Amino acid sequence: MQLLDVLAPMRSSAEEALATQIEVFEDSHHGDQAQLEMPGDVDISSHSDLFTAVFARVCSTPNSLSFLNILQNLLLIDPTTDLGTALWTTVAELCRKAVQVEEAQEADKLKTSSIERIRLVLREQESKPPPSSAAAPPLLL
């Protein structure tokens, strides 16, 4: 039996602190696995190399439209505002979790919880007084 097989049942019955440690371990493990699977000629610390690699993987697939939509929505996030920073952090976390999904049912569950999380971030930011009179562009969900 592998370590991940042992941890899976523990996660649901564990105390919150242990469950958090298990989640952190699994996240790190999946990240390590993803780096091992990266093509050798991609510099994973280079924004342009990563973009080019992702684009090359999806450009001639049905997923190219989804990729384009993702890019269009990311372009709408203003990285200079508190809301923009919160959204970028949320997007990064959701992407990290998305690559760990192993079944379509898990993907649907992640999508539902992700939409709720983004709505929560938006509500929190809306309750703060605006720093300036400039309105943020609408996000396409």
Q: What DSSP character marks residue 100?
A: T
- What are 18's two structure tokens? 């242990």
**What is the four-CA torsion angle of 136, 117, 46, 72, rounded to 10 degrees?**
-50
Which pLDDT tens digits describe the chain residue by residue (141 residues)? Answer: 466 667 767 766 667 777 777 777 777 766 655 654 555 688 888 899 999 999 999 999 999 999 999 999 999 999 999 989 988 998 999 899 999 988 988 888 988 888 888 888 788 878 877 666 555 566 665
